[in-house]
């Protein structure tokens, strides 16, 4: 077929059959353009499939990350509520007597809740270069923002844990730590005695401040995670899309 067309083209040139030459050139050009368009269509379809698979992975990661952040945030908030209640009771014997006597009350300071599994997962995604698979610039920006928020939150947690080593010595004498019959840890704070020691009160107050900074950073990450999750749900036509 190819050689036949070339032969016809040579014959048309020899006989100066300009109409035949034009027709042969048009057929060849059309064939090249058609082949190019088919290749382009195949590349676009492959890229669209890769983008959809990538978005599905990001969506699954965002959902897991949000699910893990919720209880972590509640742990922080619980400590802030309880420690705040105890600190505000200082100097008031009636309020001190009314503090819950049971184990666990205000025991969140000795350690910050563990970071979610993907505290830096989105940073890895940005650095991998795969972010270019996302064709929506708004979604790319949202993922970058989430990566930045995760990195900031992870840095805040590390810094807070380091400062905790400084805060703990004045507080440690008022902690009573044990285990129950199922070997689960139990913690009890002697709040009446602690609140009479200003050094311990100062340490608790500093710990509250650090917890507040951590929870604010993680709340920003949670909100950004939910935003990315919602954008991806709509891109993937999930029922969660609102």
User: pLDDT at position 117, please?
Assistant: 47
241 domain-assigned: no
29 domain-assigned: no
229 domain-assigned: yes
207 domain-assigned: yes
C-alpha distance from residue 40 to each of 15, 27, 46, 67, 180 (Å): 38, 20, 10, 40, 66
30 domain-assigned: no
Q: What token pair was written down for 48?
A: 């669209």
36 domain-assigned: no
User: pLDDT at position 110, please?
Assistant: 57
pTM: 0.75
Domain that holds residue 127: 54-235
Q: What is the pLDDT along the chain (242 residues), one digit of tens a residue?
A: 444 655 665 665 566 555 655 666 676 677 777 766 766 666 667 788 888 988 998 898 889 888 988 988 888 888 899 999 999 999 999 999 999 887 889 887 655 555 554 565 666 676 677 788 888 999 999 998 998 888 888 888 888 888 888 888 999 899 888 888 888 778 889 999 999 999 999 999 998 988 888 889 899 999 999 999 999 999 999 988 88
Query: For the chain, how many structural domains are there in total?
Result: 1
Question: What count of other Cβ atoms lies within 10 Å of the Cβ of residue 54?
Answer: 17
136 domain-assigned: yes
70 domain-assigned: yes
* 47 three-state secondary structure: helix
């Amino acid at each position: 077929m190819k050689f036949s067309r070339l032969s016809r083209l040579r014959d048309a040139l020899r006989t100066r059959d300009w109409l035949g030459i034009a027709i042969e050139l048009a057929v060849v050009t059309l064939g090249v353009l058609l082949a190019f368009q088919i290749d382009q269509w195949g590349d676009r379809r492959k890229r669209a499939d890769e983008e959809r698979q990538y978005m599905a992975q990001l969506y699954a990661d965002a959902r897991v990350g949000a699910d893990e952040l919720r209880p972590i945030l509640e742990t922080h908030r619980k400590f802030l509520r309880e420690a705040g209640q105890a600190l505000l009771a200082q100097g008031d014997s009636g309020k001190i007597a009314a503090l819950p006597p049971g184990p666990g009350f205000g025991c969140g300071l000795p350690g910050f809740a563990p970071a979610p599994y993907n505290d830096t997962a989105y940073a890895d995604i940005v650095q991998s270069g795969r972010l270019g698979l996302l064709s929506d610039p708004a979604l790319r920006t949202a993922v970058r923002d989430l990566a930045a928020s995760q990195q900031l939150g992870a840095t805040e947690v590390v810094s807070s844990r380091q400062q905790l080593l400084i805060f703990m010595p004045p507080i440690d004498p008022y902690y009573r730590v044990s285990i129950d019959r199922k070997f689960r840890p139990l913690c009890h704070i002697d709040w009446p005695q602690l609140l009479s020691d200003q050094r311990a009160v100062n340490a608790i107050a500093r710990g509250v401040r650090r917890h507040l900074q951590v929870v604010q950073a993680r709340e920003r990450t949670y909100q950004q995670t939910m935003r990315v999750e919602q954008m991806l749900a709509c891109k993937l036509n999930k029922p969660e899309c609102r």
